[in-house]
Amino acid sequence: MLNPGKAVKVTIYLSEGSTHHGVPIYSSILDFLFYRGIAGATVTKGIAGFGADHHMHSSNLIDISDHLPIKIEFIESRETVDAILGKLEEMAGTGLVETQETNIAKAAQTSRARPKVQPEHLKIEGKAQMMRIYLSEEDRWNGKPLYKALVEAMRANDIAGVTVYRGILGYGAHRRIHQDESLFSSHRSSLMLSAIDTAEKLRAFLPMVDQMVEEGLVVFSDVDIIKYAYRAPDAPKEAASPAHDADAE
């Protein structure tokens, strides 16, 4: 963390379209600064400007709007800057790197520190049920996508968790092949909703499924919950609760 006193401000000027190993340079540099423990960095995007090639770039010119100027700024100690400056110059390529002596009058502060406690490792196990609902992405309920309505209904009824999966190939009762054709904006993909909770809660929710799903398949399976979690030593011990389906089976 920076302290009040002398420091160095580094400014890196780039073109938005420039890349480093196939990734936008500004993104690569930001990742590098983050994992080198730099206190903080900001990326700003210009709306107009020109650089060494003397070509004008403007957000109003659609054909070159992806080559707008990008600026990355951060402030660090002289020792830290000297240690990474060579790598930054390499990553910036044809961009401009500027360093400027500055003075920190007041250092930024993180949120108020809390006493560190070693969390307790928990392994929660128990019995539950999984409900799978198979339907089509084009199915609707009261004007909205059926799968979204089901997720909202499950959340409103305190179902522990649900995940929606999109199939890439399959067929159903009509024996019509459904294939993921995202390039053609297809909305006929097969979907599966997978939810896990206690048998009592899922069975209590089943009448709503019957009301909302006019055509589809609903399957129940017994599952064993195995969930790993952490809890602070002073936290109250709660009864084991069903986890998301990714933690089960």
DSSP string, 56-84: EEETT-GGGGGG-EEEEEEEE-HHHHHHH
Report, in this order, helix, strand and coil percent for the chain, each rounded to 5. Answer: 25, 40, 35
119 alpha carbon, distance to own chain's centre: 25
Instruction: Encode the chain (249 residues) as per-residue pLDDT tens digits.
Output: 678 899 999 999 988 777 777 788 888 899 999 988 898 899 998 877 665 556 655 545 444 445 678 899 999 999 999 999 999 999 888 889 999 999 988 877 766 655 556 556 666 688 899 999 999 888 999 889 999 999 999 998 989 889 999 887 766 556 666 555 554 445 567 899 999 999 999 999 999 999 999 988 999 999 998 876 665 555 554 444 444 444 444
How many alpha carbons lie under 13 Å from residue 141 in its C-beta half-sphere?
A: 19
> Greatest CA span in the chain, whole angstroms?
73
pLDDT at 194: 95
CB neighbourhood size of 67 (10 A) = 18
d(CA 193, CA 38): 42
For the chain, how many helices (H) and strands (E)? 4, 16
The structure's pTM equals 0.46
85: Cβ contacts below 8 Å, ≥ 6 apart:
10, 97, 99
Type of residue numbered 208: M
pLDDT at 54: 60
Which residue, 214, 231, 221, 131, is CA-closest to 173? 214
pLDDT at 60: 52
pLDDT at 172: 59
Token digits for 31?
A: 């990742």
Contact of 65 with 4, CB cutoff 8 Å: no
Structural domains in the chain, CATH included, are 5-104 (3.30.70.120), 120-247 (3.30.70.120)
pLDDT at 244: 46
Token digits for 21?
A: 């190993």
pLDDT at 67: 65
